[in-house]
Amino acid sequence: MLASLYFSFTNYNMLQSAKWTGFKNYFQLFSDPRYLQTLKVTGIYVVLAVPLELAAALGLALLLNNRLKGMNLLRAVYYLPSLLGGSVAIAVLWREMFGTGGLALQLLTAIGIKLPSLIASPSTSLYTLILLQVWQFGSPMVIFVAGLRQIPADIYDAAVLDGAGRGAIFRRITLPLLTPVIFFNLVLRVITSFQIFTPAFIISDGSGGPTDSTLVYSLYMYQQGFTNLKMGYASAMAWVLLLIVGSVTALNFALSKRWVFYTDVEA
């Protein structure tokens, strides 16, 4: 980390000795249109992917929280995409599904919806990455199931005796008591989403997609460091990303005081 911090203040191409340039790399970042595009793309990705993924995870967790036969197997099946989603193989599969003539487009064509390649279109390419992220809801889902199991059953029994419906029970009991778990998942998924690289690299063949529509932060940092050999510039990008993620995480912790409820309820 200290070495990367030093290199961020230098002109370093990994082939010659680093030359000190001060804050030149940092000033250059915010005059680089492609860098500004990465902030936009990554921001949209995080804002859309994280809530959708958590909503899908919570919805499935509520369904799989029932103590019925076969539920453990279903939880394992739903968790499987989280184990595979970050792999190169799944990214290649995703590219083949949503590329020209892909399976997803064939299914849409069969029901009368004709679309071009979702990956090759600037207006839809980013959403294929978001869909892949949402599909990997297994990890937060398992954590949600564990959180639901910690809510005492007698609270639900008392609510039912008082005549509360399912909607009221969910809003007034389940959600408030689950907010610490929601917050935990939120922080982890936000940090992970800012670091997205493999799907964007594979699906766009490392280019960043049409008109840089899938040029996420880590992909551009990789291009600068290992394609253009601007390791000093890439190091500056890495430290700015650290500041961004740290600031967003600190903001989440500050805002959590307004909606996260901690309680010591004994079953």
Model confidence at 53, pLDDT cuts 50, 70, 90, reads very high
Model confidence at 222, pLDDT cuts 50, 70, 90, reads very high
The first and second tokens of residue 134, run together, are 């949402």
The first and second tokens of residue 66, run together, are 């029932």
DSSP letters spanning 152-213 = -HHHHHHHHHTT--HHHHIIIIIHHHHHHHHHHHHHHHHHHHHT--HHHHHHTTTTTSGGGT
Answer yes or no: are the C-beta atoms of 140 and 189 closer than 8 Å: yes
Q: Which residues contact 123 (CB under 8 A, 6 or more apart)?
A: 213
DSSP letters spanning 216-259 = -HHHHHHIIIIIS--HHHHHHHHHHHHHHHHHHHHHHHHHHHHH
Cα angle value 230/207/217 (rounded, 5°): 60
Amino acid making up residue 49: A
Highest mean pLDDT among 104-113, 131-140, 191-200, 203-212: 191-200
Mean pLDDT of 55-59: 93
Q: Which residues contact 240 (CB under 8 A, 6 or more apart)?
A: 26, 29
pTM: 0.89
Give pLDDT, residue 68. Answer: 62
- Dist. CA 73–CA 81, nearest whole Å: 14
The first and second tokens of residue 226, run together, are 């290992």
Model confidence at 86, pLDDT cuts 50, 70, 90, reads low
- Dist. CA 54–CA 122, nearest whole Å: 26
Mean pLDDT of 229-239: 97
Domains by residue range for the chain, with CATH: 2-92+135-259 (1.10.3720.10)
Mean pLDDT of 122-145: 90
pLDDT tens-place string over residues 187-207: 999 999 999 999 999 988 888
Highest mean pLDDT among 20-29, 129-138, 206-215: 20-29
- Dist. CA 229–CA 235, nearest whole Å: 11
Which of 3-17, 53-67, 103-117, 217-231 is least confident? Answer: 103-117
Please compute, for residue 83, the number of CA atoms within 13 A of its CA located in the half-sphere on the CB side: 7
Please state, as a whole number, how many other Cβ atoms lie within 10 Å of the Cβ of residue 211: 12
Q: Look at 38 and 15; give whichever has higher pLDDT.
A: 38
Give pLDDT, residue 204. Answer: 87
- Dist. CA 112–CA 115, nearest whole Å: 10
Which of 50-54, 197-201, 233-237 is least confident? Answer: 197-201
SS3 37: helix
Percent of the chain with pLDDT over 70: 92
